Amino acid sequence: MNTRTHPLLVAFAVLTFLFLVGPLVIIIGTSLSDTAFLTFPPEGLTLHWYQNIFEISAFRRTIMTSFALAVGGTAISMMIGVPAAYALARYRVELPKFLGNVYVLPILIPEIVLGFSLMKSVAIGAGLPIMTSLLLGHALLVLPYCVRVVGASLNAFDFSIEDAAVSLGCPRWKAFFTIVLPNVKAGIIAGFILAFITSLNDVSVSIFLTGPGVSTLPIQLLAHMEQFFDPTIASVSVLLMFVTVGVMAIVERTLGLTFLTK
């Protein structure tokens, strides 16, 4: 058949992509404006609002907290999720089929319900400190990414290589670290980075678990927006877009971005 795509359809797709990219361009523009209010196109050019991010202590603090939380939560989740993914791929007969679905429950249950329930049972019920609750909440939230993305790599791994090492006398733990892990490195990096960005951007779980003195960047942004409407929010947003660019570069290098269309 090999018909060409109808020009109207192409025009429609162009409009869609303008719709997708336009608002982000507008944010970048407003962040550079030399005015105390948000305006586009920017009037005058300044980097003042970027400097302002670091002058507002609440932003300084929450940026640190958010990054620490994203790294810590993802690390915990990986330490728990990688063995689970390994077991799922390696011991298909020994483990029940539904177990794979148990690990994706954090995506299936509405995030805001999860946040509310964690606040009630863990933060207030069990009286855990704010940072501990946040770490556990985020580790849980990103578990599906850790298990699924690493699992995809593990499913492509030929376990007979590991068996060969073990039968030649290599201890199991050593075979895991020296043979299995290096072979699924791409999956681990991509999983880590997707989990990291999910944690960094999270609102619905964090909003229930943050408390006096401890907040995350997205929650601080929400609070800031309700009081001030200056270009600082735009510059923080641009900062977060830079993180997104970094994340995309890493995913592209490890699994390829087409991984995300599957």
Partner 1 sequence: MVPFRSSPRLRAWALSAPAILLVTCFLLLPVFSTLATTFGDPEGPFATYAAYFDSRLRMRVLWRTMEVAVITTVISVIIGFLTAWVVAKTPGRLKSLLIIAAVFPLLTGVVVRSFAWLIILGKNGILNDFLLWIGVITEPLSMLYTEGSVIVAMVYLFVPLMILTLVGVLEGIPQDMTDAAASLGAKPAAAFREVVLPMAVPGLIVGSVLVFTGSFTSYATPQLLGGERQMMMGTFLYQNAMVRFDWVAASTVAAIMVVVTLTTVLLMSRVARKLNPVAG
Residue 33 CB, nearest distance to partner 1 (Å)?
Answer: 11
Q: How far apart are CA 206 and CA 70, in angstroms?
A: 12
Contact call for residue 119 and partner 1 (CB under 8 A): yes
Q: How far apart are CA 74 and CA 219, in angstroms?
A: 19
Q: Residues 22 to 41: which contact partner 1 by CB under 8 A?
A: 23-24, 26-27, 30, 37-40
Stretch that binds partner 1, among 13-21, 53-61, 148-156, 178-186 (CB under 8 A): 13-21
Structure tokens at 200: 């960094």
Which candidate, 183, 206, 188, 201, places its Cα nearest to that of 243? 201
Contact call for residue 187 and partner 1 (CB under 8 A): no
Contact call for residue 112 and partner 1 (CB under 8 A): yes
User: What DSSP line would sit under 29-90, residue for residue?
Assistant: HHHTBSSSS--SS-SSB-SHHHHHHHHSHHHHHHHHHHHHHHHHHHHHHHHHHHHHHHHHHH
Q: How far apart are CA 3 and CA 84, in angstroms?
A: 48
Q: Among residues 63, 143, 175, 214, which is the contact residue for partner 1, using CB under 8 A?
A: 143
Stretch that binds partner 1, among 67-75, 113-121, 156-164, 184-192 (CB under 8 A): 113-121
Contact call for residue 157 and partner 1 (CB under 8 A): no
Q: How far apart are CA 133 and CA 209, in angstroms?
A: 7
Stretch that binds partner 1, among 51-59, 152-160, 179-187, 215-223 (CB under 8 A): 215-223
Q: Residues 226 to 245: which contact partner 1 by CB under 8 A?
A: 233-234, 237, 240-241, 244-245
Q: Among residues 55, 60, 64, 110, which is the contact residue for partner 1, using CB under 8 A?
A: 110
